[in-house]
Structure 1
Amino acid sequence: MAPATRPLLLCATLMLLLLLATSRQATGAVLATELRCQCPRTISRIDFKTIQSLKVTPPGPHCTQTEVIATLKDGQEVCLDPEAPLVRKIIQKILNKGKAN
């Protein structure tokens, strides 16, 4: 990742976390208090229309990498690759949707 994009990604991540904190949590969501990474494997492509909610967990003592967990409309949870261009677009689209409200 280019050094110039890191502050933007951090800002986007923090804004998304704030948006998610004010919305309802899906049942069965992965708890942020787990002391290990929740996403040993990730996918880089997903249909935006299938996502019900999105949770972004920044790196911390529990895990050294940013984790993006999508809850799909069928209740399934999938881990998305936070570096994938499509995932970044999805996060940006959600952030822009939150600003429009």
Structure 2
Amino acid sequence: CRCITTEKKPIGRYIGQVEVNPVSSHCNNIEIIATLKSDGRKICLDPKAPWVKRVFEK
């Protein structure tokens, strides 16, 4: 797994791109990795957080 910790606080307006890694033989968790607009840093998001679900609806 690439995500050890996940961000639970809303950072929706700072997200430039989102990558979703489904469950695989290497990792038992769905991983949602966001790339920030400002500096290109990658942050793992909590897939169970309500604000993350709203980002995918948009």
Q: Over the residues paired in the alignment, what is the CA RMSD in angstroms?
A: 0.9
The structure with the largest alpha-carbon Rg is: 1
Note the 1:26-65 alignment, pairs <5 A.
37-65=1-29
Structure that is richer in helix per residue: 1
Higher-RCO chain (CA-CA 8 Å, sequence separation at least 6)? 2
The percentage of aligned residue pairs carrying the same residue is: 42
Structure 1 stretches of 4+ moved >4 Å? none
TM-score between the two structures when normalised by the length of structure 2: 0.89
Q: Where does structure 1 lack aligned partners over 5 or more consecutive residues? A: 1-36, 94-101
Structure that is richer in strand per residue: 2
TM-score between the two structures when normalised by the length of structure 1: 0.54
* Distance in 2, Cα, partners of 1:84 & 1:66: 13
Q: Where does structure 2 lack aligned partners over 5 or more consecutive residues? A: none
